[in-house]
Amino acid sequence: MNRVFCFFGTFSARYLSIYCVDKNDADKAIAALKAAGEDAYVLGELVESTEGVIIC
Distances (CA, A) of 15 to 1, 11, 20, 40, 53: 23, 8, 17, 12, 24
Contact 44, 22 (CB under 8 A): no
Show me where the domains of the chain are located.
Answer: 18-56
Write the pLDDT tens digit of every residue in 8-44. 555 555 557 788 899 899 999 999 999 999 888 888 8
Per residue, what are the HEC states of 28-46?
HHHHHHHHCCCCCCCCCCC
φ, ψ for residue 38 (rounded to 5)? Answer: -95, 150
The pLDDT assigned to 44 comes to 82
The pLDDT assigned to 27 comes to 93
- The residues, any chain, with a CB within 8 Å of residue 56's CB and separated by 6 or more, are 44
